[in-house]
């Protein structure tokens, strides 16, 4: 039986479309948790990245943070906090947020810092205040890179939220983890398809956001 049979079987069973363990419910959980983690991480990291990028300070500390963030194993952090804190939303939310902060922070800082100084000087010469320069000159020019940092963070969150099913988290990872325990390969492959689809949808959403939000003058391709 090929893998495509498993996939089509999984999606054609009506039992998989209703109730507490149904696809809509699990998909909604996954999106909800990912959005929450993304909102918290962005709320913390984006302003800090913008300000440190604008002032050009703290680059070394951020580089250190990036290395540390990359070295921390996401699955390990997840299990560790679960074992320490126990059942609940918090032990899963903390690692999701912690892992999403370094890519947003570092890329935003780097993006704002590497903005061409000529337009910034021109804006200053026109009498713009620092906050206005940041919002109206630096932010639009740095936006493509900032979005790529946000995209990395979002994709990381979606994929870590999948693994989080191992520590009793809802979402699409449930199908994979439960399927592995129940030796129900159809469910495993169905879950994997859904997770991959969600990750690709996230990618698509960011591509669309880039098309809509980035000024045509900045877009280089």
Closest to another protein by CB, 63 vs 126, is 63
Q: What are the Cα distances from residue 61, in Å, to 56, 74, 105, 217?
A: 12, 21, 11, 33
Q: Are 147 and 210 in contact (CB under 8 A)?
A: yes
Length of the chain: 221
Closest separation in Å from C-beta 140 to another protein: 18
Residues that bind another protein (CB under 8 A): 3, 6, 56, 59-60, 63, 66-77, 79-80, 82-84, 99-100, 102-103, 106-107, 110-111, 114, 145, 148-149, 152-153, 155-156, 158-159, 162-163, 166-167, 173, 176-177, 179-180, 185, 188-189, 191-193, 195-196, 199-200, 202-203
Q: Distance between CA atoms of 208 and 198, rounded to whole angstroms?
A: 15
Closest to another protein by CB, 47 vs 56, is 56
Closest CA to 177 of 168, 15, 13: 168
Closest to another protein by CB, 36 vs 203, is 203
Closest separation in Å from C-beta 8 to another protein: 14
Helix (H, G, I), strand (E, B) or coil at 13: coil
Closest to another protein by CB, 14 vs 60, is 60
């Amino acid at each position: 039986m090929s893998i495509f049979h498993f996939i089509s079987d999984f999606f054609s069973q009506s039992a998989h479309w209703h109730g507490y363990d149904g696809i809509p419910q699990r998909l909604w959980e996954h999106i909800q948790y990912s959005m929450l983690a993304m909102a918290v991480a962005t709320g913390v990291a984006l302003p800090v990245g913008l300000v440190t990028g604008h002032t050009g300070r703290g680059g070394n500390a951020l580089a250190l943070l990036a290395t540390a963030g990359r070295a921390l194993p996401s699955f390990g952090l997840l299990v560790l906090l679960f074992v320490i804190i126990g059942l609940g939303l918090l032990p899963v939310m903390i690692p999701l947020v912690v892992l999403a902060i370094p890519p947003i922070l570092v890329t935003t800082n780097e993006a704002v810092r590497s903005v061409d100084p000529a337009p910034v000087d021109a804006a200053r010469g026109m009498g713009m205040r620092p906050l206005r320069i940041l919002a109206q000159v630096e932010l639009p020019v740095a936006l493509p890179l900032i979005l790529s940092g946000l995209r990395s963070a979002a994709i990381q969150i979606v994929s870590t939220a999948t693994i989080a099913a191992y520590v009793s988290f809802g979402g699409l990872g449930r199908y994979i983890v439960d399927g592995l325990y129940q030796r129900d390969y159809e469910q495993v492959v169905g879950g994997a398809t859904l997770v991959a689809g969600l990750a690709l949808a996230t990618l698509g959403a960011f591509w669309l956001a880039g098309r809509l939000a980035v000024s045509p003058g900045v877009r280089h391709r």
